[in-house]
Amino acid sequence: MRGRGTGHGDGRRGARGAALAAGAATLAALLAGCASGHPGAGDSGASARPGSSTATPARPPAPPLPAETSTPDPGLPPPVVSMDIAHAVAGGGRAVALTIDDGPDPTWTPKVLAVLRHNGVKATFCMIGPQAAAHPGLVKAVVADGHRLCDHSVHHDESMDHEGRAYQRAEILTAAGQITHASGGVAPQYYRAPGGAFTPYSRQTAAAHGLRPLGWNVDAKDWERPGTAAILATVKEELGNGPTVLFHDGGGDRHQTVQALEQLLPWLRAHGYRFGFPVR
């Protein structure tokens, strides 16, 4: 699977590993009043890093990065929800927002749903429009279990930020229609650009149709299939970046994802985390 971004700003984000960490540290140092953290992580609800012996008071939210916010273009339909890229969990506090991308998949989505149901956890499923259209029963099952829907475009084109406005609009709105139809009338509440390939135009277009742009703070990297232990280690290590965690139920063999969730969800609850949906 292709490399993925961080979902923290406009434009394609392909940096990984040390480059991502270095860039995050540099940007964080430039933010006035922000002592540490990850770009966009000022919305984090976590009060202490997992494994810490004592909890520290939650930091006041840091100002968003300029790339994440913009004044709406008066020449376009106005947003009806915020067009800023969401990273925070509704309600704040020590919380995690699970997001599941690239499905629905007839093999892996039911397994992910079973793990979530067993642990009493709700998540946001970022669906590819044609996948939703091909598997409406799975979309309805996601909704029936109380999860939220997110538009993840038609073609999962990680370079769509380099395409024209008509293309971007079609990717967003066609997928939204496919997901809504497959669900039986329940519309997605968010839009996540493939690979974080947001633009101001795509964010305003989504927000004008009630879709809050959705980023992420923690990439579980389950799409690399590095092994269950590696997935768990990545999430636990990066939770200090912020509360929104990215997993996948589509795009390939996801048995490691299922196994990781089986272990991670009880661990999070045991360490004082609650589960919530991203802010709207």
Q: Which residues are tagged catalytic?
A: 101, 248
Q: What is the 3-state secondary structure (H, E, C) of 135-148?
A: CHHHHHHHHHCCCE
Q: Measured between alpha carbons, how far is 192 from 85 in angstroms, rounded to an integer?
A: 9
- Look up residue 231 and give its two tokens: 């997935």
Q: List CB contacts of 221: < 8 A, sequence separation 6 or more.
A: 230, 231, 234
- Look up residue 10 and give its two tokens: 């406009």
- At residue 262's C-alpha, the angle toward residues 105 and 219, to 5°, is 65
Instruction: Read off the DSSP letter of residue 217.
Output: S
Which residues are paired to 103 by β-bridges? 127
Task: Give the 3-state secondary structure of residue 266.
Answer: helix
Integer angstrom CA distances of residue 75 from 72, 199, 204: 9, 16, 11
